[in-house]
């Protein structure tokens, strides 16, 4: 990824966070937490009455840690992190 791509990515994620802030959703579902950069922006933008669920494979092929940027929100009642396969009905039931 070159610098221009990185700048564009940051602008897009910041723009999405502004959209979430303006929309004030009650529920947000994210598939594919990754490191949690987008999820962290969403959490920062959500009102206290919202609920945010993010689902990711427990052991992604990349080997990267899942949700590491969500550490500041561990214990926040708005956040629910699910590690699992979305094709598994047991995982879907957790949402």
Tell me which residue of 39, 43, 45 sits closest to 24, measured CA to CA: 45
Phi, psi (degrees; rounded to nearest 5) at 52: -125, 120
Q: What does the pLDDT read at residue 50?
A: 96
What is the pTM assigned to this prediction? 0.81
Give the model's confidence band at 58: pLDDT under 50 very low, under 70 low, under 90 confident, else very high.
confident
pLDDT in tens, 6-57: 777 778 878 888 889 999 999 999 998 888 888 999 999 999 999 999 999 8
Tell which wins on pLDDT, 54 or 65: 54
Q: Which residues pair with 29 in a beta bridge?
A: 53
pLDDT in tens, 3-16: 777 777 778 878 88
């Amino acid at each position: 990824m070159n610098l221009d791509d990185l700048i564009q990515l940051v602008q897009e994620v910041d723009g999405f966070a502004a959209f979430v802030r303006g929309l004030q959703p009650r529920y947000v579902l994210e598939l594919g937490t990754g490191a949690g950069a987008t999820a962290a922006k969403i959490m920062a933008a959500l009102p206290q009455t919202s609920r945010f669920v993010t689902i990711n494979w427990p052991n992604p092929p990349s080997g990267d840690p899942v949700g590491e940027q969500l550490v500041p929100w561990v214990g926040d009642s708005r956040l629910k992190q699910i590690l699992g396969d979305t094709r598994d009905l047991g995982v879907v039931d957790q949402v």
